[in-house]
Structure 1
Amino acid sequence: MIRAVLCIFLGVLFHSLPAQQVLNLQDCRNLAIENNKKLKIAGKELEASRAQKAEAFTKYLPSIDGAGIYIRNQKEINLLEHDAYLPVGTIKADGSWGLRGDQIQIVNGKPVPKDYALLPREAMTVDARNTALLQLGLTQPVYMGGKIRAYNQLAGLSEQLSESKLEQEMQNVIQMTDEAYWQVVSLVNRKKLADKYVESLQKFTRDIEVMYTTGVTTKADVLSVKVKLNEAEMLRLRVEDGVSLSRMHLNQICGLPTDTVYTLREENMELQPDVVIPALTLEQVYARRSEVAGLELAARIYKKKEKIALSDYLPTVALTANYLTMAPSFFDGISTKMDGMWSVGIGVKAPIFHWGASRKSLRNARAQTGIMEYRLQEAKEQIELQVSQAEFKRREVAKKLEMAEHNRQRAEENLKLAEVGFREGTIPVLNVLEAQTAWLSAQSDRIDAQIEMKLCEVYLLKAYGVLGK
């Protein structure tokens, strides 16, 4: 339901984009999340793991299988080569078969039966030219050495691992979007600063040319200002190129056409106040980081694989029930009609000797579990370092931003004094150019510090594992 609402919202946002042409950071995040291919892959992997979990549960249930075969044979089956003659005798009182005296005759001095019954060859012929066999069987696992239960637990852990990967990929997409977003904001404001710098130099160039015509200043001063103006125009051109490229990059992340033009809400540097991020303990960070959750799940998965390997040592027990029908049938004489029977049974299979294969599989599973545990320890050490660096960097940039603001104020005051002094004739042209350059540098440093502070917030939230939450 939530996903459907999000899709509708994004669709409305996308179609209304050309009209309003204003995006904020959350809009860009939503577009990036909806269009990112890696996120879609992670979502499909989660669907696959859920289907695998449902499939694993079916191992508890009985399986029903059917099989059938039809064969057309060339010849019939004749049990006798020729007609047979069976001696006619008597059933005695004790139940045995024998010949009475009147049923015996002497031929060539040997007693032989007097009477015979004819057994025709055709009576012992089986028409097996059309042979059919149908079988329906049911198998119910009773004991598989704990393998089925381990497989179900393994499937459940795999589903959780897919969810952890999806969350991790989500945070990566948000971080990538935020970086591209603030890069555009930074370059747009640098473009505005460059425009203002060029305008200031153009005005100064006109003033210095007027002063030159009146003989107040020299040709060298005019050339110095024009050189500075050319440098400023080149700087503005480079910034314009950077703005275009950074917008293309953000468009690509958001799934928009690369030539889409829009305005970002923070382009006027009306930045929101710094986010108050409460400090977290390392244990709280570990509990929130999807990387730690993923490695913990991986270690548990290999623990379950140990149980699966251990189950190879144990016997397996299963109940079976079958119904078999065939033609020709031999249950009540020989018949060409379909006839069948049912049967039930229990099967037991126990490993006896396999050249130590099960033992080697168990060793392999235990080694893989150990690898995952070491990787988990390494990941926690890296996360601890990452958190410390992010916290330190944010404190450092806060100081840098404060200093940049002071420098900006001083540079503006210095530029005003330089311009006043130049008009009064007490300050030379080079000093004014130096003041303008210092003003440009101070303004650029302030923009960089503001953007860097926003990125530090992103990196710290990512280090805490709460980015986008």
Structure 2
Amino acid sequence: MRKSIMIITAMLLGISSYAQQRLTLMHSKSLALENNGKTKNSALEIDAARETKSEVYTKYFPKISASATGMQAIDPLLKMQIQGGNLPVYDGNPANLPTANQFAYMPGTELGLFNQVGLGYLNVLQPVYAGGKIKNGNKLADLNLTVKEKQQKVVQNEILLKTEREYWQIVALEEKQKSLDNYVKFLDTLYRQVSTAYQNGVIIRNDLLKVTIKQSELKVNQTQLTNGKKLALMQLCQTIGIPYDPTIRVENELDNFSDPQTYFVSNENVMSTRAEYQLLENSVEASHLLTKIAKSEYMPTLGVGLSGYYMNQFEKGQNGAFNGMLYATVSIPISDWWGGKHKLNEMEIRENITINTLNDSKGLLNLQMEKAWTDLKETDEKITLIQETLEQANENLRVNQDSYRNGLIQLSDLLEARALKSDTEDKLTEAKTTYKTAVTNYLQVTGR
């Protein structure tokens, strides 16, 4: 029976462990890129840019138009009056025709044309020269697709950094939970010791109350920590696009560190690889293309075409007629140049503005990379200092515990030493999670 119970218990524990969903940092990032609303929208923006590119490319093709018209008039659109009279009778000899002495009378008549008409029309126009408008429009569409792809990279970086911060926030709260649990165990043990001493009359009741008050404070901290963990997990689930499940657990990889120097790169070498910098360059290029397109509005345009039509009056004895023609068209804007010159000057000024923005932003991007590197180094140094402080806090607690047992210090000193250790542990956890996100941030701002 005992063996059966142990087997059943092991199976239940296995099922419970299997039911828990565990997330790693890489898995969380993968889910965020797949499910997050912003990343989905950025992918749709790329699809829309591809469609725009395909639509603009069709401007190279001929423009074909066709139409058909049917008409029934109340009265004929064209009326003709033919007068009657005597017509010479022709005997077959052309010599007798001028001196004919026999005549046939032909009465007058009225003809009506276009009483009902059907007309079909087809026109094909091939643009030959449009001042560079079509060519530059296609370049702009290509550039727009490139911009959307780089914007997607920026959005992905933002989502990945957000995911990592939220992930490490949960890890930090779980580490603080462990520290708090150890603190609670310490106070429980201390409470039993102090309670026994109070019952034996060794200490006064005030010392027992100090421990009780500290236990009550930790209960409040426990409630706040539990609520904080729930909200942090809900936020992570929303970011990575999965349903909230309170049984989800995240893998703790907090102590896996590398030296900051392993991530260092020269700012000048990686500036051009940053998506933000490339977008600024694309902005300058787009401004230049827009100036060219604006200039093409004031250039002559040339096209060649082919037109054909078929017309039928739907009357007895009359057949439909087909005709067609080849033609060329040239359009030269003249009066548009009066205001166009100022429009082009405006476009060139705006082009210079984008160049100035690029130069100014280059300095800001360099400053951003330098700050990210400084933050990474400072956080690493902070971890080292806090670890040293934690060693001192542990030693201080050990000395205070021995001194309290020997009656050399008061209970408040021991409680203060234990609180110092817990506070130092929390600070170390926060520094480690900050370092993790600082690494990711530095990699991103250096285009990696």
TM-score, length-normalised on structure 2? 0.88
Contact 2:393 2:421 survives alignment (8 Å): yes
Residue of structure 1 in register with 2:325 after alignment: 343
Q: 3-state SS of the aligned residue for 2:80?
A: coil
CA apart distance, 1:309: 1.4
* Aligned ranges 1:172-251 → 2 under 5 Å: 172-251=158-237
Where does residue 11 of structure 1 map in the other structure? none
Aligned twin of 2:73: 73
Structure 1 counterpart SS, 2:244? coil
Q: How far did 1:414 drift?
A: 1.2
Q: Which residue in the other structure is 1:131 paired with? A: 117
- Relative to structure 1, the CA distance from residue 275 to residue 394 in structure 2 (aligned partners, 3 Å threshold; closer, same or farther) is closer
SS of 1:258's equivalent? coil
The question of 1:121 aligning with 2:103 is answered: no
Cα displacement (A) at 1:386: 0.9
In structure 1, what is the equivalent of residue 241 of structure 2? 255
Alignment match of 1:150 (pick from 136, 145, 157): 136
Within the alignment, does 1:324 sit opposite 2:309 as a pair? yes
Q: In 2, Cα distance between the equivalents of 1:36 and 1:335?
A: 73
The answer as to whether partners of 2:85 and 2:108 remain within 8 angstroms in 1 is no
Instruction: Give CA deviations for 1:341-400 in whole Å, capped at 9, x if unaligned.
Output: 121011111111126232233123223322222222232122111111111111111111
- Contact kept, 8 Å, 2:260 with 2:380, in 1: the verdict is no
1:275 Cα offset (Å):
6.6
- What is the SS of the residue equivalent to 1:266? coil
Partner of residue 384, structure 2: 402
Q: 1:359 corresponds to which residue?
A: 341
Retained in 1: the 8 A contact 2:49–2:145?
yes
Tell me if the contact between 2:230 and 2:246 (Cα under 8 Å) persists in the aligned partners.
no
Report the residue type matching 1:420 in the other structure: D
Provide the rounded CA distance (Å) in 2 between the counterparts of 1:319 and 1:379: 47
Aligned-partner Cα distance in 1 for 2:192–2:271: 63
Question: What is the alpha-carbon distance in structure 1 between the residues aligned to residue 107 and residue 291 of structure 2?
Answer: 68
CA distance in 1, matches of 2:203, 2:360: 68
Counterpart CA distance in 1 for 2:273 and 2:131 is 36
CA separation in 1, counterparts of 2:59 and 2:128? 11
Contact kept? 2:284, 2:351, Cα under 8 Å: yes
Aligned length: 425
Contact 1:78–1:121 (CA under 8 A) maintained in structure 2: no
Unaligned 5+ segments in structure 1 are 1-16, 90-98, 105-113
2:282 to 284, 297, 318: 297
Measured after TM superposition, the shift of residue 149 of structure 1 is 0.9
Instruction: Say if 1:78 and 1:56 are closer, same or farther in 2 by CA, change over 3 A.
Output: closer
Partner SS state of residue 391, structure 1 = helix
Q: What is the distance in 2 between the residues matched to 1:363 and 1:116? A: 82
Mapped partners of 1:158, 1:86: distance in 2: 79
Measure the CA separation in 1 of the matches of 2:104 and 2:385. 129
Between 273-282 and 205-214, the greater mean CA deviation after superposition: 273-282
Secondary structure of 1:244 counterpart: helix
Q: 1:264 matched to which residue of 2?
A: 250
Letter matched to residue 430 of structure 2: D
Cα distance in structure 2, aligned partners of 1:66 and 1:292: 48
Structure 2 counterpart SS, 1:137: strand
Distance 2:28 2:288 in 1: 41
Q: For residues 150 and 117 of structure 1, do their structure 2 counterparts lie closer, same or farther at Cα, with a shift above 3 Å needed?
A: farther
From 403, 410, 422, the equivalent of 1:440 is 422
Does the CA contact (< 8 Å) of 2:115 and 2:313 recur in 1? no
SS of 1:344's equivalent? strand
Alignment-derived partner of residue 8 in structure 2: none
Mean Cα deviation higher: 17-26 or 172-181: 17-26
Task: State the AA in 1 paired with 2:271.
Answer: Y
Number of the residue aligned with 2:83: 84
Structure 2: give runs of 5+ residues left out of the alignment: 1-16, 89-96
Query: For 2:126, what is the secondary structure of its paired residue?
Result: strand
CA displacement at 1:336 relative to structure 2 = 4.3
Aligned-pair distance for 1:274? 5.1
CA gap 1:74/1:282 in 2 versus in 1, 3 angstroms: same
1:382 corresponds, among 364, 370, 373, to: 364
Q: Secondary structure at the match of 2:302?
A: strand
- Could you tell me how far 1:271 is from its partner in structure 2? 3.2
Cα deviation 1:276-318 (Å, max 9, x = unaligned): 6443333333212111111211210110111111112321110
Deviation at residue 86 of structure 1 after TM alignment: 6.0
Structure 1 match to 2:92: none
| Residue 42 (structure 1) shift | 1.2
Percent identity, aligned pairs only, is: 26
Q: TM-score, normalised by structure 1?
A: 0.84
CA contact (8 A) 1:64 1:139 kept: yes
Q: Is the 2:84–2:109 contact (alpha carbons within 8 Å) kept by the matching residues of 1? A: no
Q: Distance in 1 between matches of 2:135 and 2:85?
A: 64
C-alpha displacement at 1:116, in angstroms? 8.2
